[in-house]
Structure formats: C-alpha cells, structure tokens
Structure 1
C-alpha cells in the first residue's frame, strides 16, 4: 500500500499503541480520552490494521471528531479531537 499523506493537526497528546492488537489499542484510547481535556487533539499511532475500522467507529459512537488519518506502510496514525 502506498503512503497516504495528509495535512495533520498539531497534537496536544500522543498515544502510541504500536505492537498491540485488537482490542488493546481501543481500550487504551478509551482510557486516554478520559484523562485529557475536552477539545484536546490526540494523535494515535498504531500498527494494528484493525484500527482502520475501530478508531473511526470509536469516534462516531462516542462523539469525538476524527480530524485526520494517515497510512504509511504498516503504520497507522489518527488525530481526534475530544468532546
């Protein structure tokens, strides 16, 4: 898969879930958004391809805004704004 480059927002916090597999990245994300203020931008870095499905659904169901996502080979990056 070729690299998809996007303009990425500046993150207030970063969550690195590299090496973890479903459901761990989303569980860690759930805990992290509880610890950061509303309106903060969180960057999530992952290696699990399932995050391409799970993180957008997480944002949709919990009302967070998915600002951007990027794929670079086997590395997946997401930026969400907490609500």
Structure 2
C-alpha cells in the first residue's frame, strides 16, 4: 500500500524519540480515545515498534493497515476494531 492509498488519519500519535515500552503505552491510550473504526497514524523512531505494534494490534483485535519505514522513522496505520 502506498501513502496515497491510505485514507486520512482521524488522529496522529507522534512517539518519535521514545523507547520501548513508551510508544505502545501511548498507543494504548490513544486508541482508547478513538471512535470504533477510527484510523490512527503512528510515527515512531524505536525499531522495536516493528515487533511491538503488530503484536499489539493482533492481541487487541485492531487492524494494522500498513507499516512503512522511512530513514529510521517507522509509520503505522491502525484501524480501531469496531466491536
């Protein structure tokens, strides 16, 4: 999926400069505030998010629409579960 294919995010979480476990802790709180089906864009610089964010989505039932890496910055688009 390219960035042009991804719909505009309802919210953005910038976790740049934070290290594990902070990005996922912030993600948990941010997702809680989103409406069901809402789209969240996450920006992170911690390489461990490549492992942690997909596991977070799988465990809690959210959909990881896409993930990309651009020059040491990791981007994720997460659709909050609708139930």
Length-normalised TM-score, structure 2:
0.90
Q: Deviations over 1:39-78 (max 9, x none)?
A: 0000000000000000000000000000011100100000
| Structure 1 runs of 4+ with >2 Å offset | 5-9
Q: Deviations over 1:10-37 (max 9, x none)?
A: 2110000000000000000001111110
Distance in 1 (alpha carbons) for counterparts of 2:72 and 2:7: 21
> Structure 1: 5+ residue runs without aligned partners?
none
Length-normalised TM-score, structure 1:
0.90
> Structure 2: 5+ residue runs without aligned partners?
none
Residue 36 of structure 2 aligns with which residue? 38
* Matched residue count: 79
Distance in 1 (alpha carbons) for counterparts of 2:27 and 2:62: 12
RMSD of aligned Cα (Å): 1.1
